[in-house]
Structure 1
């Protein structure tokens, strides 16, 4: 009888133990990565933003999202492998072509920050550049034509106050995937002066500009003559003084947008009484950096 009783107790104990093991909550294999980033702009239908975590020096995608015209992210929380997320040292945000088949990040990396505990403070300063000490000078002139009456319809980023003209812009060297672009905003319409990476050389459209005159390509510095053609609501030549805003932006390359990108390190409203051929000094632009927080 005792043997039977001990057998029943043993079977009961085994049964309870087995049930207890089966009911244990499994360790989750997925955790959420949450983005809190402001200042991002709509990239249109050809490009998306993509997040990456760096694990043992290798990038792992955390997901793709878009941004609407109000700056709202289409998605702010992303499921990520728990082990990889806990091992991540850094978060990076890049700009990628839509329907991208390349598993690696593009050169156009916008934000980055190292994790400290469960969060990372990410900033464009860490990747694109620190523009806090940037400065700029420019003159009003139209050197690509022979007409002296329209000199207030051209902008050239140079300093001619010395014996010979020198670069008017002092900006950090950009990494691959980015270019500078000059703009004149006229009646609310931004019109490009051209993209460039070198501060003391002609910009990319120096020989192909639709606005320049027929007497050459201008000096070997970024700039533009608006002496021919037109833009939305503006016919050239025009007088930029009093109604124009000169801006330097930082643009992703390649770029599918005809408008300035979010980063604008330098800007200057052209005074109504500005003298042509005289140096004008730019001030800080409206957006020097984009930043946010990433939480794991």
Structure 2
């Protein structure tokens, strides 16, 4: 009996050692991936940032985050991290049923040794979009309110068009074509409050709220270019019609679907409407405050 008990305990002991050894050998070894980005802003509550490494042409998640305080470090499978060629940062739903990266890929860069220099320009190299040309964007606009019959409030509307050679009218914005997952949006900043003029992908066509805008007048949708008349239904604290002189006009790049009602970080064009601006006369925009985002990704 003693002999059988001893043999039984010995067998259990050997099994335990064997299982422990197998677990150790099969355990995934991880290495650190450190992200250090400049210029990122917090997203809306329903969205998060997600990092990805490209391994053998396939995306592998490195984890999600919502804080924009850097550096941040994530544990990643050592073999996959060593074999990664590219890093990509995307914007994802906080509750995401799709394991693949969303179309809203913001930063990308190829590894050189253990470091990848990433920025929004490099997306054209890594993923085939056109965000890299944002720095070459130019813009023109006029003050006018074509959606009502009142000619006394012309400084209450902004339209991104060029009527220099009137009656011929052309697009006022020269912008690169964005990749899937992104749209442009116009804004006017009223005493620190940005009010959208509408989202669009084509500067030579009306924007997405041409028909649905609650601010325009009752005489039509306006010209076939992005823009807005601020004539009625003013948000709380504002009065329409108004005078846009002294206000800031902005063009931003927005995730689509959008994560927030506020402007996104990327703003390639901006301009303060001059106090002596003339109605129906072309005004040139300048560079915006953020034309590109950048940072570094280090594996060790």
- Same topology, TM > 0.5: yes
Say if 2:164 and 2:282, in contact at 8 Å, map to a contact too.
Answer: yes
Say if 2:28 and 2:77, in contact at 8 Å, map to a contact too.
Answer: no
Residues 240-296 of structure 1, C-alpha deviation per residue, up to 9 Å, x if partnerless? 112x10000000000131110000000000011100000000000000011000000
Say if 1:189 and 1:233, in contact at 8 Å, map to a contact too.
Answer: no
Say if 2:117 and 2:296, in contact at 8 Å, map to a contact too.
Answer: yes
**Equivalent of residue 75 in structure 2, options 71, 76, 79:** 79
Partner of 2:13: none
- Between stretches 168-177 and 36-45, larger displacement belongs to 36-45
Per-residue deviation, 1:204 = 0.2
Per-residue deviation, 1:176 = 0.2
Unaligned stretches of 5+ in structure 2? 1-20, 124-130
User: Does residue 159 in structure 1 map to residue 162 in structure 2?
Assistant: yes
User: Does residue 137 in structure 1 map to residue 144 in structure 2?
Assistant: no
Partner of 2:86: 90
**Equivalent of residue 115 in structure 1, options 111, 116, 136:** 111
Per-residue deviation, 1:105 = 0.1
Per-residue deviation, 1:28 = 7.9
Rg (Cα) greater in structure: 1
User: Does residue 210 in structure 1 map to residue 214 in structure 2?
Assistant: yes
Residues 106-133 of structure 1, C-alpha deviation per residue, up to 9 Å, x if partnerless? 0000000000000000001122333121
Unaligned stretches of 5+ in structure 1? 1-21
Measure the CA separation in 1 of the matches of 2:206 and 2:34.
43
Partner of 2:176: 172
Which portions of structure 1, spanning 4 or more consecutive aligned residues, are displaced by more than 4 angstroms? Answer: 25-28
- Between stretches 120-129 and 159-168, larger displacement belongs to 120-129
Partner of 2:226: 222
What is the Cα-based RMSD across aligned positions, in Å? 1.7
Per-residue deviation, 1:41 = 1.0
Measure the CA separation in 2 of the matches of 1:80 and 1:223.
46
Secondary structure of residue in 1 paired with 2:81:
helix
Per-residue deviation, 1:80 = 0.5
Partner of 1:62: 62
Measure the CA separation in 1 of the matches of 2:101 and 2:287.
31
Partner of 1:104: 100
Secondary structure of residue in 2 paired with 1:102:
coil
Partner of 1:30: 30
Equivalent residue pairs, number: 268
Residues 18-44 of structure 1, C-alpha deviation per residue, up to 9 Å, x if partnerless? xxxx9xx99982101000002111112
Partner of 2:41: 41
Measure the CA separation in 2 of the matches of 1:57 and 1:114.
12
User: Does residue 183 in structure 1 map to residue 187 in structure 2?
Assistant: yes
Per-residue deviation, 1:99 = 1.4
Per-residue deviation, 1:232 = 4.3
Measure the CA separation in 1 of the matches of 2:242 and 2:282.
19
Secondary structure of residue in 2 paired with 1:131:
helix
Please give the TM-score of this superposition, normalised by the length of structure 2: 0.86
Measure the CA separation in 1 of the matches of 2:113 and 2:250.
39
Say if 1:140 and 1:152, in contact at 8 Å, map to a contact too.
Answer: yes
User: Does residue 282 in structure 1 map to residue 285 in structure 2?
Assistant: yes
Measure the CA separation in 2 of the matches of 1:33 and 1:221.
45
